A = this chain, B = another copy of it.
Amino acid sequence: MTEAEPRELFGPAAEDIRKVETQLRQEIQDDPPEVARAMADLFVAGGKRIRPALVLLAAMCGTYDAVRVLPAAMAVELTHAATLVHDDVIDRSPTRRGRPTVAAKLGDEPAIVIGDYYFAKSYELAARTGVPEVVHILARAVMKICAGEVRQQSIRYRYSTDIPEYMDRIEAKTGTLLVACCEIGGLLGRLNDAQRVALREYAVALGCAFQIADDVLDYTSTEEEVGKPIGQDIREGFATLPLLLAGVKLDDHRRLEEDEVRHVVDAVLASDGPRRALEQARGIAAGARAQVSTIGESDATAALAALADYVVSRKL
């Protein structure tokens, strides 16, 4: 693992991110074992904790009240985990973070219910802030992600997508929850309207940069490094930016065979698609940093800017 240390990545939020992790671990340990075991496995296997860090750092741009902010940060991380559990049922993914997915280990039926449990727990944690608006923001974000996901399912195996459609898709998929994190942090930190708008734009850009970098790694990394098979996006029927920029053409409307997946991966790697995609991601990350600079200068804004750099430089 060559990942940056959370302490250096999250700046002034580093200590409270550790609290979020400890308290979440304790929460899961107190859940019924039939749902908790699978979630504990997923949780200890890793995760960058970028979403809770965004809640904390956004709140730290204003007036920071840990009693309200910590449950909100726990809520967004658990929402993310619950979406992963259901995503892995839907995508029939064998592994996640280097381990069998909940669905692969226990079956689809328990995985659906365990996801429902942890979605519910997310909203319950959001309610612990005592601010109904936090539940509202989180729930609206999940609704937007779900609507995008149903649309995404309908374009599966449609490889002739274009870049605007791809950008819309990743904004819905990854950007939405990151925007919600910043909105929740901004609300609890009592930021002013201009600061909240800037944070929102920052989160949209961060999400796009992050997802493009992720989609590049799906081609350029190794299974060992990312903890899941390489070429998983195209295997699941989705054309991502490296493929679109590589100009590789595929017939629509069918799942690729495993040797075809290998062939597509090789063709993309032989092209300048991954490099150009990463360049785009870096340009978008620079835009994210520019938004943060309008919020003010503090350890919190410096950490937000550093996060934007991190997501386009990470190796996994």
The answer on a CB contact under 8 Å between B86 and A34 is no
Q: A34 → chain B, closest Cβ, in Å?
A: 4
Residues of B near A133 (CB, < 8 A) are 127
Residues of B near A301 (CB, < 8 A) are none
A250 CB-CB contact with B under 8 Å: no
Q: Give chain A's interface residues, CB within 8 Å of chain B.
A: 31-32, 34-35, 83, 86, 89-90, 108-110, 112-117, 119-121, 123-124, 126-133, 135-136, 138-140, 142-143, 146-147, 149-151, 153-154
The answer on a CB contact under 8 Å between A130 and B132 is yes
The answer on a CB contact under 8 Å between B119 and A116 is yes
**Can you add 4 more A-B contacts, CB < 8 Å, to A32-B150, A35-B150, A127-B139?**
A31-B143, A113-B153, A116-B146, A123-B135
CA distance A130 to B83 in the complex (A): 26
The answer on a CB contact under 8 Å between A151 and B34 is yes
Chain A contact residues: over half helix, strand or loop, or mixed? helix
Q: A20 → chain B, closest Cβ, in Å?
A: 19
A150-B110 contact in complex given A127-B139, A129-B132, A132-B129, C-beta closer than 8 Å: yes
Q: A64 → chain B, closest Cβ, in Å?
A: 20
Say which residue of B35, B113, B130 sits within 8 Å of A90 (CB atoms): B113
Say which residue of B114, B127, B146 sits within 8 Å of A150 (CB atoms): B114
CB closest chain-B residue, reference A116:
B146
Say which residue of B119, B124, B128 sits within 8 Å of A120 (CB atoms): B119
CA distance A119 to B131 in the complex (A): 19
A136-B147 contact in complex given A119-B116, A142-B116, A153-B113, C-beta closer than 8 Å: no
Say which residue of B90, B120, B127, B132 sits within 8 Å of A109 (CB atoms): B90
The answer on a CB contact under 8 Å between A147 and B109 is no
Say which residue of B90, B132, B136 sits within 8 Å of A112 (CB atoms): B90
The answer on a CB contact under 8 Å between B124 and A139 is yes
CA distance A140 to B120 in the complex (A): 7
Residues of B near A126 (CB, < 8 A) are 135
The answer on a CB contact under 8 Å between B112 and A147 is no
CB closest chain-B residue, reference A121:
B143
CA distance A186 to B117 in the complex (A): 25
Residues of B near A109 (CB, < 8 A) are 90, 153
Residues of B near A34 (CB, < 8 A) are 147, 150-151, 154
Q: A106 → chain B, closest Cβ, in Å?
A: 9
